[in-house]
Amino acid sequence: MMQQYETVFILTPVLSEDQVKEAVTKFRDYLTSHGAEIEHEEHWGLRKLAYNIKQKKSGFYHLMEFRAPSELLERLEIEYRRDERVVRFLTVKLDKHAIAYSLKRRKQAQDKKEEVESQN
């Protein structure tokens, strides 16, 4: 049975923009090739960490929401651990309230983006 999940991973800040895109593509392709459906993605860019991780003070954040069978999660997290570019990751299962909140947040962001574009 397909469940909805949200994963956030942080990539090391020493990567170039192309290397970040390649890493994100790797994880997106891994999910889709194993039967997951990507619902939404956000690249948050380079952000300061709350505390140092592996002597790093910042990292590239990326969020993905996807639907997948639960057995895929363990394999995805193994892929995160194997990739030396990943500093931290967190994957959570979304319940119906979290899904509704996520949709509401996306709609507000889209409305705000359209408002800015209409002003230009």
> In the prediction, which pLDDT does 62 show?
96
Question: Under the phi-then-psi rule, with left for phi > 0, alpha for psi from -120 to 50, and beta for the rest, what region is 45?
Answer: left
In angstroms, the CA 23 to CA 60 distance is: 11
Q: Which single residue is written with the structure tokens 């390649």?
A: 22
- The confidence score (pLDDT) of residue 101 equals 86
The pLDDT tens digits of the residues spanning 28-81 come to: 999 999 999 999 999 999 999 999 988 899 999 999 999 999 899 999 999 999
Mean pLDDT of 25-29: 95
**For residues 92 and 51, what is the distance between their CA atoms, to the nearest angstrom?**
21
At residue 72, the pLDDT reads: 92
Answer yes or no: are the C-beta atoms of 106 and 40 closer than 8 Å.
yes
**DSSP 3-state of 4:** strand
Which pLDDT score is estimated for 9? 96
Distance CA 40, CA 7 (A): 11
Is pLDDT of 120 > 80? no
Biggest CA pair distance of the chain: 46
Rounded mean pLDDT, 16-37: 94
DSSP 79: H
- Looking at residue 105, its pLDDT comes to 85
Kindly state the tokens that stand for 33: 């090739």
pLDDT value, residue 108: 84
Find, among 66, 57, 56, the residue nearest to 102 by Cα. Answer: 66
Give pLDDT tens digits for 75-96: 999 999 999 999 999 999 998 8
When the candidates are 3.90.1300.10, 3.40.50.720, 3.10.180.10, 3.30.70.60, the CATH number that belongs to 2-94 is 3.30.70.60
